[in-house]
Amino acid sequence: MIGDVPGPSGAHVPVLKLGDVLLVTLQGELHDHAAEQLQQDIGEAITRSHVTGVVIDVSGVAIVDSFLGRVFAEIAATAGLLAARTVVAGMRPAVALTLVELGLTLPGLRTALDTDHALGLLAEPTSHLPHASGRRESL
């Protein structure tokens, strides 16, 4: 394990290293301070461990507000600058609808139905990694 980030009720969000990928699994509500700390910790973990991908599993998250949506986009942007790709996995339909209603497009952030699919996307060559919209684009 790379580190822990304070989560709801003092719990911690584990940041695990699986090969060349960081896996972050969110459960329940993530408060603003914990989300900002997670963003910082992921950037530091990428630098320290030289990973090439980050998977953020949000299957345990029922609500994503505009702040958390922006944090996801900022994590992806930071990871991209550090030569790592980010995939958000397990987004519930209600969460996706909320993000659309808030007008958050989350540029640079890829999505996958589950963690296995996210790991598969990260294993693909970068020129063939599809965006959430289904377009193919070089990175």
Q: Report DSSP state, residue 113.
A: S
Specify if 75 maps to a domain. Answer: yes
Specify if 100 maps to a domain. Answer: yes
Alpha carbon distance 132, 134 (integer Å): 5
Specify if 17 maps to a domain. Answer: yes
Report pTM.
Answer: 0.81
- φ/ψ of 21, rounded to 5, equals -130, 140
Specify if 136 maps to a domain. Answer: no
Specify if 134 maps to a domain. Answer: no
pLDDT tens digits in sequence order for the chain, 139 residues long? 555 544 444 456 889 999 999 999 998 888 889 999 999 999 999 999 999 999 999 999 988 888 998 899 999 999 999 999 999 999 999 988 988 888 887 777 899 999 999 999 999 886 544 444 443 333 3
Query: What residues are paired with 56 via a beta bridge?
Result: 24, 88
Strands (E), the chain: 3-6, 12-18, 21-27, 53-60, 85-89, 110-112
Where b means 16+ CB within 10 Å and e means fewer, 109-136 reads bbbbeebeebbebbeeeeeebeebeeee
Specify if 59 maps to a domain. Answer: yes
- Which CATH number does the domain housing residue 9 bear? 3.30.750.24
> Total structural domains in the chain?
1
- State the residue range of the domain holding 101: 3-128
